[in-house]
Amino acid sequence: MIRAACIQICASDDVAANLRETSALIRDAHRQGAGFIATPENTNLMAAGKAAKLEKTFSEADDPSLPAFRALAEELGVWLLIGSLAIKVSETKTANRSFLISPQGAIAARYDKIHLYDVDLANGERYRESNTVAGGDRAVTADLPFGRIGLTVCYDLRFPHLYRTLAHQGAFLLTVPAAFTETTGKAHWHVLLRARAIENGAFVLAPAQCGIHPNGRRTYGHSLIVSPWGEILAEADDKPGVILADIDPARSAAARAQIPSLCHDRAFGLGDRADLAEAQVWAENSRDKG
Ligand SMILES: O=C(O)CNC(=O)[C@H](CS)NC(=O)CCC(=O)C(=O)O
């Protein structure tokens, strides 16, 4: 059992202010008993335009937010998922990179957002994330004392096979730090997050950006923690804050035992993982008895 928290923020183009405000909410979550705390996509920077973004981002070695978050994780003795930092990886591009930080302050995992948000909405909103971001090319899981988690970011949410892959790799909890637009969040956010939880029998932890950012962009907020059965365990409103829920990995095992859709997944073959096969045997035995 671990208490998990999602931090909701309204990041600006002021890196120091974003660090200050996020750190205060992380301390707040820790005071409320959280041992695993996750922050949104682009925790360090929501910039207005490419030039502004490149001017305010650094290589991983020189980024000022990362050592501060590592020190904070160590000070509080918590697992910290920094949903993403914009990290400069070339003269013209950044990575949209998640960092998992251990209670010792070590970087336990990194994940670069794979799917980039190049989208034109009917209302004229236009996004070209690939103008400033170099996409990642591999799925990432990480082992925590309470189980294996799978890392994703924002628009990845619309690619269910990534979540399937992470579940088949043993993840019982999926992280989806986001800066979902207000427009698409209203229409799709809850449904997509609950679907990823239900279809994979996994907890979903989705810390979100909210409010109005420097470029006039509006994000949806409504950070969400979803159970492996698809229940909303905690939900934020549209303001900065903290939400919490207790995570019991047994709930994932129980959901997968009742509905062994991961085992029945012909695309991935049957029973190639011992614990999934076990869940299926458990389910078949219970059916026989019933
Ligand atoms: O641009 C930045 O500075 C930070 N990056 C983001 O906010 C990213 C890319 S624009 N946002 C999303 O992926 C929203 C996805 C979304 O809203 C959907 O899938 O509908």
The ipTM (two decimal places) reads 0.89
Say what the pLDDT of residue 266 is. Answer: 81
Q: Whose CA is nearest to atom 1 of ligand 1?
A: 129
- Tens digits of residue pLDDT in 27-37: 999 999 999 99
158 lines ligand 1 (CB under 6 A): yes
- Tens digits of residue pLDDT in 217-259: 999 999 999 999 999 999 999 999 999 999 999 999 999 999 9
- Tens digits of residue pLDDT in 52-85: 999 999 999 999 999 999 999 999 999 999 999 9
**Ligand 1 centroid from CA 41, angstroms:** 8
**Ligand 1 centroid from CA 235, angstroms:** 20
**Ligand 1 centroid from CA 119, angstroms:** 9
- Tens digits of residue pLDDT in 69-125: 999 999 999 999 999 999 999 999 999 999 999 999 999 999 999 999 999 999 999
Q: Whose CA is nearest to atom 16 of ligand 1?
A: 180
Say what the pLDDT of residue 181 is. Answer: 98
**Ligand 1 centroid from CA 181, angstroms:** 7
Q: Is 10 a catalytic residue?
A: no
**Ligand 1 centroid from CA 281, angstroms:** 41
Q: Which two tokens stand for residue 50?
A: 């490419």
Say what the pLDDT of residue 290 is. Answer: 44
Quote the distance between the C-alpha of residue 215 and its chain's center.
23
Q: Is 41 a catalytic residue?
A: yes
- Tens digits of residue pLDDT in 190-217: 999 999 999 999 999 999 999 999 889 9
- Tens digits of residue pLDDT in 264-289: 888 765 455 666 666 656 566 665 55
Query: How much is the pTM?
Result: 0.93
Say what the pLDDT of residue 258 is. Answer: 96
Q: Which of 45, 42, 53 is nearest to 153 (CA)?
A: 42
Q: 12-24: buried (b, 16+ CB within 10 Å) or exposed (e) per residue? A: bbebeebbebbbe
**Ligand 1 centroid from CA 285, angstroms:** 45
Q: Is 50 a catalytic residue?
A: no
Domain ranges across the chain: 2-259
Q: Which two tokens stand for residue 4?
A: 């998990």
184 lines ligand 1 (CB under 6 A): yes
Say what the pLDDT of residue 269 is. Answer: 57
The catalytically annotated residue of 113, 182, 210, 263 is 113
The catalytically annotated residue of 6, 10, 21, 41 is 41
Say what the pLDDT of residue 218 is. Answer: 97
146 lines ligand 1 (CB under 6 A): no
With the most atoms of ligand 1 within 8 angstroms of its CB, the residue from 129, 193, 217 to mutate is 129
Cβ contact 55:97 at 8 Å: no
Fold of 2-259: Nitrilase/N-carbamoyl-D-aminoacid amidohydrolase (3.60.110)
Quote the distance between the C-alpha of residue 201 and its chain's center.
16
142 lines ligand 1 (CB under 6 A): no
- Tens digits of residue pLDDT in 128-153: 999 999 999 999 999 999 999 999 99
Q: Which two tokens stand for residue 140?
A: 């990432």
Q: Whose CA is nearest to atom 20 of ligand 1?
A: 184
